[in-house]
Amino acid sequence: MKKLLFIILTAISVQATSQEFAPIGAKWHYDQGTFNPDLTTYQTIESISDTIINGIPCRKLMKISRMAGVEISWLYMYSLNDSVLFYAGNGFHLLYDFGAITGDTITLGYYTTYDGSPLKMVIDSTGTMIINGETRKLQYVSCGDGMVIEFGGIVIEGIGNIGYMFPSFDPSLDGPLRCYEDSVIGLFINPYHSNNGWNFQDCEQVITGITERGVTSDIMIYPNPAGDYIHLNLTGSTPLWETKITIFNIFGQIIDEMIFPAGQQEFSCPITHLPVGFYSYVLTNQQLTKSGKMLIAR
């Protein structure tokens, strides 16, 4: 009896050392390119429920793509010790092995390289990271053929690749990771993300890709939050060219453009036609460019 109890407790102890992948409520935010080369929006993957596929208990994840409108698809994944598997083509396939150590090679048999061989992930080295008090293992991996498919970089235990959750055929459209959140570690903002030093505090920023120029401190757009009107004040200079404000929704789509004649410093824009919510804007003329966010709340 004591021996059986010892075995059970040992099994529980070993299981407790493994980080659960995709706990319900976990949410990943990734960059996502759009058909407009000057706009980068975001993609989310969220673990929403338990389900059973082929007799295996797994997690159901909702993927929302915003490249061209909103597209919803479903993913199914489960953890087995340190391994993470995903469902595709009527079966489950290995995606991660957080227990792999330096020198190990993981074969991701669902994916193939340009010459038709299985995609292999080589663990170059390992380390650890403390995220909000939680210690997570790191793997520095080489993976991809440089021509068709890529999955190299840094893998974080319980979170996955900081590029994208899955091997990507077009990294410009999928990833990198902006931030991740679950009930154990809270909010994790990816410190390896590099986009001109951007820090994705809200995780869902639409990026215009336009660098501000001119004396932007002399531009005022108010109030924010806005109601029925927004007001623009170009203090310090009278523009010699017309000024345009372009407003984008959270999916990076242009929903309104307003053009104001040259020679004015102040403008008022009715926005009663826009529903309550978050927006981004770009203000341009031949003297300056300014981008930012605004909230409409009535």
Assign 3-class secondary structure to 169-189: CCCCCCCCEEEEEECCCEEEE
Say whether both 129 and 229 belong to one domain: no
Residue 209 lies inside a defined structural domain of this protein? no
For position 217, what pLDDT does the model report? 43
For position 47, what pLDDT does the model report? 96
Say whether both 67 and 182 belong to one domain: yes
**From first to last of its 298 residues, what are the pLDDT tens digits of the chain?**
444 433 333 333 333 344 589 999 999 999 988 777 777 888 999 999 999 999 999 999 999 998 777 889 999 999 999 999 999 998 999 999 999 999 999 999 999 998 899 999 999 999 999 999 999 999 999 998 878 899 999 999 999 999 999 998 877 788 899 999 999 999 998 888 765 444 555 688 777 654 444 434 456 777 878 888 888 877 655 566 678 888 877 666 778 888 888 777 788 888 999 988 878 787 776 666 677 778 888 7
Write down the pTM of the prediction: 0.67
Say whether both 112 and 233 belong to one domain: no
Residue 180 lies inside a defined structural domain of this protein? yes
For position 205, what pLDDT does the model report? 77
Say whether both 128 and 244 belong to one domain: no
Q: Which domain holds residue 107?
A: 23-189
Residue 224, domain CATH: 2.60.40.3080
What order do you get walking across the sheet with 243-248 strand by strand? Answer: 254-260, 243-248, 277-284, 289-296
Say whether both 27 and 104 belong to one domain: yes
Say whether both 166 and 226 belong to one domain: no
CA-to-CA distance for 100 and 134, rounded, in angstroms? 20
Residue 266 lies inside a defined structural domain of this protein? yes
Residue 196 lies inside a defined structural domain of this protein? no
Say whether both 169 and 291 belong to one domain: no
Say whether both 185 and 37 belong to one domain: yes
Show which of 172, 189, 206 is a domain's final residue: 189
Residue 18 lies inside a defined structural domain of this protein? no
Reduced 3-state DSSP string for 44-72: EEEEEEEEEECCEEEEEEEEEECCCCCEE
For position 10, what pLDDT does the model report? 37
For position 17, what pLDDT does the model report? 41
For position 237, what pLDDT does the model report? 57
Say whether both 151 and 60 belong to one domain: yes
Say whether both 67 and 174 belong to one domain: yes
Provide φ and ψ at 5, rounded to 5°.
-65, -40
Say whether both 110 and 229 belong to one domain: no
For position 240, what pLDDT does the model report? 63
Instruction: Report the 10 Å Cβ neighbour count for 25.
Output: 12
Say whether both 111 and 229 belong to one domain: no
Number of domains observed in the structure of the chain: 2
Residue 139 lies inside a defined structural domain of this protein? yes
